[in-house]
Each structure stands twice: as C-alpha cells, then as structure tokens.
C-alpha cells in the first residue's frame, strides 16, 4: 500500500477503495483464477462473509 501511495499521491487521504479499484481487483482475481492449474475448494463461511461485506460496502459507496 505504501508503494502504491508513493506512486499515486492522491491516495494519501483515501480510506476506502473506489468502485473502479474494486472492479480492477476483481478482474485481476478472475483472470488469475482462469489460469490456476486446479479447481479451488468450496469457499469457507469466513470467505463468503468477506465477499458479501465487500459487495455491501461497494454498493453503499457507489450510491454516495
């Protein structure tokens, strides 16, 4: 994060990711998953809660 802020000083006061940040990260994860040699196992309850929380946060930030 520190390296990213060094290259993008406008992020210094930013506390939450923007919708475009979330979309970019999701796209990178999806692309990486396409090239994984094996299929991942079922997500844990903790992982599911984390994704739902991220969606909820993105939904409230997008409406603002």
Name the domain count of the chain: 1
The count of C-alpha atoms lying within 13 angstroms of the C-alpha of 29, restricted to the half-sphere facing its C-beta, is 8
How would you write the pLDDT of the chain (64 residues) with one tens digit per residue? 667 667 776 666 777 777 888 888 999 988 888 887 776 688 889 999 999 998 888 876 544 4
Q: Is there a domain that residue 2 lies in?
A: no
Phi, psi of 46 (to 5 degrees): -65, -40
Model confidence, pTM: 0.41
pLDDT at 46: 93
Q: Is there a domain that residue 5 lies in?
A: no
Q: Is there a domain that residue 23 lies in?
A: yes
pLDDT at 64: 44
Q: Is there a domain that residue 13 lies in?
A: no
């Amino acid at each position: 994060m520190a390296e990213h802020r060094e290259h993008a000083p406008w992020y210094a006061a930013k506390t939450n990711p923007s919708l475009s940040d979330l979309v970019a990260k999701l796209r990178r994860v999806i692309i990486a998953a396409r090239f994984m040699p094996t299929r991942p196992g079922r997500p844990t309850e903790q992982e599911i809660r984390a994704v739902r929380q991220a969606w909820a946060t993105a939904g409230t930030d997008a409406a603002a």
